[in-house]
Amino acid sequence: MAAAPSLLKLGDEFLTWAEFKAALDNYQETTHAELSKISSKKVETENRKLPEGVQKFPCAHVYRAVKFGCIHYGKPRPSGSGIRPNQSTFKMGCPAEIYVSSDRKKGKLVVTSFNDNHNHEVGEEVRKYYPSQRRLEGELLEEACKLTKLRVDVRVLKDHVHKTSGKLTTSKDLHNLRASLQQGTEADAVIRALEDILHNDKGAKIAVVLDQDQTLEALYLQTSAMVSSFSSFPEILFMDATYKTNNLNIDVT
Ligand SMILES: [Zn+2]
């Protein structure tokens, strides 16, 4: 039997990013700490800044330097400052972090800073509540999507996920899944309806306003009957509106 790899520590050296990443994954699995990239510099970018003839950072290192922080890294938002209380952030000011950087002379990726003094409990039970562990993947995700489309109650689905996989997926996670599935199908339905109107009513006018992120800001629709009414009686304009009665919270006027 192969010996278990030793746990990641200060001064550890690696030839490649993949080698380091395997050690980091093993460290997280073993200690149940949850780390993510806080900041990074790519080898490619840093090498471009080096003068000609100077030894470059090895491409296999991928990163010139990376800082990993605990999921509870970062200052917590002061509670009561917003409409919503401090419910969605994990920020607790945890000082645990790992810094790895590329050493050109050695040709190695070196762990140059290592702090595992978490300011909170770390363990298997705690980690189960972290988003990475609650995320549904593969067959489990497919099944959850299928059951969501069949309109299975979120609480029932949540229990089912807990029982079959042990994952502590929350009601909010499953509501988000449902919203993402609905958005796709509803957006498709809107596009089909608009295409139908343009196909059946050659005089119809449709204008779409998108913001910088290509997100719909406004949709304007005028059928040929509306165009003709408006050109006959331009001095009269009736306005009717609904106030955020749809699931996208958009006004319909
Ligand atoms: Zn921590």
Angle between helices 171-200 and 138-149 (to 10 degrees): 60
Helix (H, G, I), strand (E, B) or coil at 243: coil
Give the residue carrying structure tokens 């030793």: 6
From the CA of 172, how far away is ligand 1's center (Å)? 24
Q: Is the pLDDT reported for residue 90 higher than 80?
A: yes
Tokens of 59: 């491409």
From the centroid of its chain, how far is CA 86? 19
CA distances in angstroms from 98 to 52, 95, 114, 143, 182, listed in the order given: 32, 10, 5, 37, 40
From the CA of 90, how far away is ligand 1's center (Å)? 10
pLDDT the model gives residue 212: 74
From the CA of 46, how far away is ligand 1's center (Å)? 30
From the CA of 147, how far away is ligand 1's center (Å)? 35
From the CA of 97, how far away is ligand 1's center (Å)? 8
From the CA of 76, how far away is ligand 1's center (Å)? 13
Q: How confident is the model at residue 61 (pLDDT cuts 50, 70, 90)?
A: very high
pLDDT the model gives residue 132: 87
Kindly state the average pLDDT of the residues 27-54: 94
**Which has more confidence, 211 or 19?**
19
CA distance 253 to 238: 10
Distant-in-sequence, close-in-space partners of 196: CB < 8 Å, separation ≥ 6? none
Q: Which of 206, 208, 145 is nearest to 181 (CA)?
A: 145
From the CA of 118, how far away is ligand 1's center (Å)? 4
From the CA of 120, how far away is ligand 1's center (Å)? 6
pLDDT the model gives residue 9: 96
Q: How many C-beta atoms surround the C-beta of residue 167 within 10 A?
A: 18
- Residues within 5 Å of ion ligand 1, judged at the Cβ atom: 70, 72, 94, 96, 118
Domain ranges (residues) in the chain: 13-122, 135-199, 201-253
Q: Which of 19-33, 60-74, 118-132, 178-192 has the lowest mean pLDDT?
A: 178-192
User: Which of 111-115, 126-130, 201-205 is most confident?
Assistant: 111-115
pLDDT the model gives residue 248: 63
From the CA of 60, how far away is ligand 1's center (Å)? 29
Distant-in-sequence, close-in-space partners of 185: CB < 8 Å, separation ≥ 6? none
Kindly state the average pLDDT of the residues 228-248: 78
Of how many residues is the chain composed? Answer: 253
Distant-in-sequence, close-in-space partners of 217: CB < 8 Å, separation ≥ 6? 209, 210, 211
